[in-house]
Structure 1
């Protein structure tokens, strides 16, 4: 027995020495490499599906410094033709965006863009006739131009008003006249709609180009928010915009119908509602479908609006005890029946309704979520979608017929599979990755036959093999009666007989996911860099996160920051029971919602967490926007305790550990006001802490030379000084 033990011990030591020697030959990841693109994966250029089996790509020629829109075949992946090249254009040296009209005879080319908010921008746009090669200026400093389906007109927005330009005559008709900054917006969404309902253009042509439906935002009585912009001049300027915080006045949003022949605009009555988050024309050129929501966002209506008499009737009503998600999945079929996705059976699934709102059938079923709807092939009566049927950390691409039969997996079984289908749904380009495999782009038929690998990242994988990269270990951990998804990154030379500091990373927001079987992002490389310093990094998706059913996601309703915080604290306490984790060195960090969480955790979990970093955190949901916050919390007037019991600045006196607070003063999303209030609360409680306030940076804190490198250097140094202390051997 003793002899065997000696042999085993000798073998173990020999193996450990071999592993140590192999590890010592590997390079260490550096912050400079993370942020200079050393580990960036190659991507495919963004493509736009065209009519038939073709797609278009915006290509840049470095030698000629020209930009072109090139047409490619899905079947061969070869370039078919160059549709337009900036080298051949007079009056337009370059362009950086393009869009087709319906029959692909014309293009809209965009240049000289000025960003407004996250999604919105204004720029100079031109119309290009592909046959005649004629280039015509549409307008300067305009937004969201789009051709009418009959190709006769282009509608666009400028200075909060809507205009229509006739392509043949160049005559411009002004549809609205009352647009005014910070008062009335026509055809473009306000800040909160853009951010939370994720769309900018709020005008839509009908199928024949005879009517233009649009939204009007009266934000006159919405409270104003202002931010000082330091800039480079002698005196700072101010950015002033309307921002409805939780419980405050929203813009009054109304639906309008403009008739081109009469130049008349009618206001459409949709009954009682707070929001109009979507408008979409059906295949009947006279019928628009408008979506409305109440303020609690748990009562959704689809309205059929008749453009001829401007009357509205109810098409579909959906309610939920918590909230109803807004998606872009509403799809009208040839007979005007429609596809709709819903969580009404407890999981997100696909449904088929007739145009009277009667349910025909539920197409997908099961204790799993549909995560993306790709489209419906009329000829094959087949629907294409993405789901988590093979586990909530994976994504697969599937087909199923309209009756809910003949389901087929079209992609890899595990990892992340994201499809980009041709417009006719005959082909798709699949982007596949996993925690072990960098992105691979492959061409598939709609039947799931892989035809060709277009691009892989074998070179990146080979390059990474020279570095100290630890694998992500996926598992689940049972916390508060739930099996929570988890990954762990250990030092490459991990020794279970040693003790290591623990750093937890999370986001935790409603419906989110951080524990996914997908390829590395920048934070993953940073976490590996910390692991090579001797830190174990863990990520756990607690209650409230997504893709495990509505009940799991919506349990946090009216209590954001309660159950999520309880889960992270309980998980930390369970993890330190492991012999190799040092219970005296436990940290947590996060950004935005994750910063809200990490701040709460070091306060309410001060008996376990010793270090925390919070980047751009919410510190009171009273400060955040109405649409997002009230979806989960209702208003502060209705749910004061839900807001205040989970607000970290009300617990500043509980701080015992090391706390770093980071925020950009130009954050139009989570205002720096959140951190200022946290700072004041910590001062009043006489607590010491570290802070990094970055002038003029927005929520992502990335603009400017070396910004991210500087920020992550700051966070790394903070962890080295406070968390990565000498642990008990």
Structure 2
């Protein structure tokens, strides 16, 4: 044996392994998608419960493929764009209830966060014919229950197309841009109540309920759109800021037989109110509608008879702070219904009879139901996700409608979420943790037993073994009388005898959560990059964040930003007392609400924080929309001190450290007005700072090279201000 040759080979392999395990994460690799996880395409469970469909793209064609749950093998291709001459490809699809027709979406363009316009076609699986719904781009096309008709929005009016006769009827006529909207939500409903389609078919398909928005008196907001032309354009839209006039909403029911729409008028006198949800019950002539006062502290559920147009108040909830609006309303065959509520201090599931009388509180305990998956009438079980395994974790459970025989269906601690088959025979579980990238498994719904593993992302886990990656450490920190959840990243070569700058991240918005036992978000790779440059990165979820009970979440009522800020400042002070943290170099950053709080942290906490980055921040709640802001603050007219004392604009004189302010000029959500007013206040206070505007970019500030540019800018700023221009800055890599 040649010892010298063997030794040389050993040294070569060892050096190669050592080198491989010391790769640096770079911003270029992060934003080019180098650490992207592989997921499952959105699937639709077929009505038989044994199969599911997936939209796939092959050879420049889009196709709907059918798979078997038990084998996970492809059964057939149901439809391919290659067989439809009029369609090059489609990007989404929806089945009619009986799955005999498919609605295909093409040429879709975004409007705001959730809304879009597109060309839509209906494909009949029996005849093989494909028909264009409208020559114009339309919104929210929706099959009637028997699949014979489609209702949709166009130019602020509602239309119904009969697919048998090919006849289209316009059922509203007063729609007008920036004035009247029928059946499609206005900007603030879309953003804050998270829905766009404000119309619903009844079970028989002979009535259509819809919400009408009169936004004629809502103030207009205008944004300059710079584009590439010689002269900029203006985008003008209705945006109600806190304390200003909302759309006047009304509920209507259109009868297809009489071809008339009647307005619903209830016995209760609602003056300034919202209708955040409508949903037909299983009875064809009974519509449920949720009405909410402007303060969002009272929520009424009405059952409305579509023939007599009279309503019965079946459920009325009140809260000293606010009530969260959800989609968790399910009607059972006996006309009873399932509902979720925080009324006992935690979000739980309740069962009511058809008249609104409580039958059973199904779940209870000092933990939260975080997702409701549905009810299986055969097994009489409810399926849900909760924090029963700790507020930073999520597990999937089943429980009897009577609140008995609760069963945990997932076994791994971390974040579990489920997608059930139509008949609740199976579910696909997605599991991840801070240490484990997403794993997809097929499970039996009756026991939770894993039938087979679908996808593991092991290739990404293996890839990361070659990089400098620190373990995310979870713990709690005692702050202002509360045990707050925290995570921390330390440099891989962490030495307890040395001191490191501390860079804190937070979002802090009501009901949010950033400290969660789940796989990396894209920012986590940036934090790893910073950690290996010699920073300690930490995140603390303070008061006002979610999943620890209503009292913890709602303590910030009328003082949004006050207690959240106190917790970040106190947490930073406590962390600064640790021997390995340099208390003279503590920074903080955040986006949106997080940008708002990081600004205030630098100003009001100027004895703790030496630098801050604020991206797309609200700088005064007077500039933000009615529904979100007033939910937590009431109106500026009622609560001026709550608005002004917690506005960073009013505390710019306290700035001592380094401040970077960033905004997109095309942000329709948090308007660049917030940053402009902050800039003017800083200038007049003679405070030096840095700022950057990204032309025509929305609240997400992305597109092309934008995100890479932004994160390079932030990294350079961190190194210059928090890291004392440390030698291994991003720019030198």
The TM-score bracket by the shorter chain reads over 0.9
Report the TM-score when normalising by structure 2: 0.95
| Aligned position for 1:83 | 78
| Aligned position for 2:729 | none
| Aligned position for 2:279 | 280
Q: How does 1:139-154 map to 2 (within 5 A)?
A: 139=134, 140-154=136-150
Q: Distance in 2 between matches of 1:715 and 1:662?
A: 10
The DSSP-based 3-state class of the residue aligned with 2:137 is: strand
| Aligned position for 2:512 | 512
| Aligned position for 1:576 | 576
Q: Distance in 2 between matches of 1:206 and 1:623?
A: 39
The DSSP-based 3-state class of the residue aligned with 2:28 is: helix
| Aligned position for 2:99 | 104
Q: Distance in 1 between matches of 2:179 and 2:572?
A: 49
CA deviation digits over 1:306-359, x for unaligned, max 9?
A: 111111111110111111111011000111100000000000000000010000
Is the counterpart of residue 176 in structure 1 residue 175 in structure 2? no
| Aligned position for 2:711 | 712
Q: 1:575 to 1:726 in 2, by over 3 A?
A: farther
| Aligned position for 1:15 | none
| Aligned position for 2:54 | 57
| Aligned position for 1:454 | 454
Q: How does 1:103-502 map to 2 (within 5 A)?
A: 103-139=98-134, 140-270=136-266, 271-273=268-270, 274-446=273-445, 447-502=447-502
Runs of 4+ in 1 over 6 A off after TM superposition: none
| Aligned position for 2:544 | 544
Q: Per-residue deviation at 1:412?
A: 2.5
The DSSP-based 3-state class of the residue aligned with 2:190 is: helix
| Structure 2: runs of 5+ lacking an equivalent | 1-13, 727-733
Is the CA contact (8 Å cut-off) linking 2:223 and 2:234 kept in structure 1?
yes
Is the counterpart of residue 41 in structure 1 residue 37 in structure 2? yes
| Aligned position for 1:12 | none
Q: Distance in 2 between matches of 1:172 and 1:25?
A: 64
Q: Distance in 2 between matches of 1:614 and 1:674?
A: 11
Q: Per-residue deviation at 1:726?
A: 7.3
| Aligned position for 1:555 | 555
Is the CA contact (8 Å cut-off) linking 2:96 and 2:146 kept in structure 1?
no
| Aligned position for 1:628 | 628
Q: Distance in 2 between matches of 1:24 and 1:677?
A: 49
Report the TM-score when normalising by structure 1: 0.96
Q: Distance in 1 between matches of 2:725 and 2:526?
A: 21
Q: How does 1:627-706 map to 2 (within 5 A)?
A: 627-703=627-703, 705-706=704-705
Q: Distance in 1 between matches of 2:78 and 2:230?
A: 48
Is the counterpart of residue 67 in structure 1 residue 66 in structure 2? no
Q: Distance in 1 between matches of 2:30 and 2:695?
A: 23
CA deviation digits over 1:540-598, x for unaligned, max 9?
A: 00000000000000000000010000000000000010000001110000000000000
Structure 1, 196-205 or 410-419: larger mean CA deviation = 410-419
Number of aligned positions between the proteins: 706
CA deviation digits over 1:413-438, x for unaligned, max 9?
A: 41000101111111110000000000
Q: Distance in 1 between matches of 2:111 and 2:681?
A: 33
Q: Calculate the aligned-residue CA RMSD, in Å.
A: 1.2
CA deviation digits over 1:346-395, x for unaligned, max 9?
A: 00000000010000010001000000000000010000000000000000
Q: Distance in 2 between matches of 1:150 and 1:537?
A: 55
Q: Per-residue deviation at 1:151?
A: 2.0
Q: Distance in 1 between matches of 2:199 and 2:68?
A: 32
Is the counterpart of residue 532 in structure 1 residue 528 in structure 2? no
Q: Distance in 2 between matches of 1:584 and 1:22?
A: 35
Is the CA contact (8 Å cut-off) linking 2:412 and 2:431 kept in structure 1?
no
Q: Distance in 2 between matches of 1:50 and 1:321?
A: 43
Is the CA contact (8 Å cut-off) linking 1:594 and 1:617 kept in structure 2?
yes
Q: Distance in 2 between matches of 1:103 and 1:249?
A: 43
| Aligned position for 1:619 | 619
Q: Per-residue deviation at 1:116?
A: 0.6
Q: Distance in 2 between matches of 1:401 and 1:651?
A: 54
Q: Per-residue deviation at 1:23?
A: 8.4
Q: Per-residue deviation at 1:81?
A: 1.8
